[in-house]
Amino acid sequence: MAIYEKLEARAAPSNTRGVIHWAKENLFNSVLSTVLTLVSFYFIYLVIPPLLDWMIFDATWSGTKDEITKDGARWIFIFEKFNQFIYGFYPEELYWRPNLALFIFVVYIIAFKKIDNIKVKAFIILSFPVITYILVAGGFGLEVVETDKWGGLLLTIIVASVGIIASFPIGIIFALGRQSHMPIIKTISVIYIEFIRGVPLITILFMASVILPLFFPEGMDFDKLLRALIGITLFQAAYIAEVIRGGLQAIPKGQYEAADALGLTYWKKMGLVILPQALKISIPNIVGSFISLFKDTTLILIIGLFDVLAMVTLTNSDTNWLGFETEGYVFVTMIYWVICFSMSKYAKSIENRFNTNHR
């Protein structure tokens, strides 16, 4: 009887592993790839070192305006105007209220990802706007702060959050309406979606700010921020409806037939079988629409609301701080990138969590 000796596994050849192997396979695997890699390295060499010098090494981080001696970024402007960029004209002694709302938002985001109970998730979605409004606007024993004092990043997040939360269920309703076999419901949904998608957001904001108050009784004071929120919500709902409609069309017909075979009503079929699958498929496009909405909030400046970008423009008009607009716009760019990138990564984690595809 043959006796076999157990041998230890040998390490992979050195030319098939490590950084050098990765570079050969990904950066220098052909003549064209090699040329593009060298051009990219040269571009990085031309751009990155001067950018780092301007942003970090030659930047001015402290002191006063008159003490600036370096040629780099003058971040003292950001530190000086930081509160205005974040809170706008919100009373300084009440900063704790939006800060608390932000903390609750972070807690809710973490809880929303961890919790599977649909009722708890619905409570989170419905309660957060109410809690935030009470904290930021006041009432119930808190000092009232008028919306014309809201601004900066605070206003940007509020407008984007309300637009996202409010437009999502409306978009679902119109998506289902467009798929409906009832002619009236389908026609209304199609007209609404196509009309809104054919009009730029700036026009919707003008209509919400100027035309919408004409439909209310004379003397009725309609808050300007609320008008903007209504316009943005209705605008975004049309795009969400089309995204979700694409997800509905991607569901195999057998899923509809299986739900009908179980004797489910229309709403149970949609709520328990079809919509969960359609929403899972549509996550990347839904997040893309939400990111676009977040960036489009800068347009509220045209109706007199000062978001974070508008606050940079406003603070640049300060005669004591003229010529610092570059630092302000770079700061706003980083804020938008961090938030949009975080939204994308959070959505990717949700997508991976609900990925039930068999590979």
Retrieve residue 289's tokens.
């629409």
Q: Provide the domain count of the chain.
A: 1
- Residue pLDDT, tens place only, 64-73: 777 777 788 8
Residue 77 domain-assigned?
no
Enumerate residues 6+ apart whose C-beta is below 8 A from 23. none
Q: What is the pLDDT of residue 159?
A: 92
Report how far residue 226's alpha carbon sits from residue 148's, in angstroms, rounded to the nearest whole number.
Answer: 11
Q: Is 72:55 a contact under the CB 8 Å cutoff?
A: yes
Q: Which domain range does residue 312 map to? A: 145-353
For residue 83, count other CB atoms closer than 10 A to its CB: 14
SS3 of 163-174: the string is HHHHHHHHHHHH
Report CA dihedral (149, 306, 287, 289) to the nearest 10 degrees: 130
Residue 41 domain-assigned?
no
Residue 5 domain-assigned?
no
Residue 84 domain-assigned?
no
Of 65 and 266, the structure prediction assigns the larger pLDDT to 266
pLDDT beyond 50 at 230: yes
Residue 188 domain-assigned?
yes
Q: What is the pLDDT of residue 121?
A: 79
Report how far residue 351's alpha carbon sits from residue 64's, in angstroms, rounded to the nearest whole number.
Answer: 48
SS3 of 37-60: the string is HHHHHHHHHHHHHHHHHHHHHCCE
Residue 130 domain-assigned?
no
Alpha helices in the chain (DSSP H): 18-26, 31-52, 76-87, 96-114, 118-137, 152-179, 183-197, 201-206, 224-250, 253-261, 266-269, 275-296, 308-315, 325-353
Retrieve residue 285's tokens.
């496009």
CATH number of the structural domain spanning residue 216? 1.10.3720.10
DSSP 316: T
Sign of the C-alpha dihedral computed for residues 295, 339, 50 and 311 taken in this order: positive
DSSP 74: B
- Residue pLDDT, tens place only, 124-177: 878 888 888 899 998 888 999 998 899 999 999 999 988 998 999 999 999 999
Q: Find the distance separating the first CA and the last CA of the chain, reported in whole Å.
A: 43
User: Which residues is 60 bridged to in the sheet?
Assistant: 74
Of 223 and 78, the structure prediction assigns the larger pLDDT to 78
Provide the mean pLDDT of the chain: 87
The lowest-confidence range among 121-125, 134-138, 238-242 is 121-125
Question: Which amino acid is located at 315 in the chain?
Answer: T
Residue 88 domain-assigned?
no
Q: Which of 1-15, 227-241, 340-354 has the highest mean pLDDT?
A: 227-241
Q: What is the pLDDT of residue 184?
A: 94
Residue 55 domain-assigned?
no
- Residue pLDDT, tens place only, 105-119: 888 888 877 777 778
Q: What is the pLDDT of residue 1?
A: 53
Q: What is the pLDDT of residue 358?
A: 44
- 141-169 as b/e: b if 16+ CB within 10 A: eeeebebeebbbbbbbbbbbbbbbebbbe
Question: Which amino acid is located at 325 in the chain?
Answer: E
Report how far residue 160's alpha carbon sits from residue 157's, in angstroms, rounded to the nearest whole number.
Answer: 5
In this prediction the pTM is: 0.84
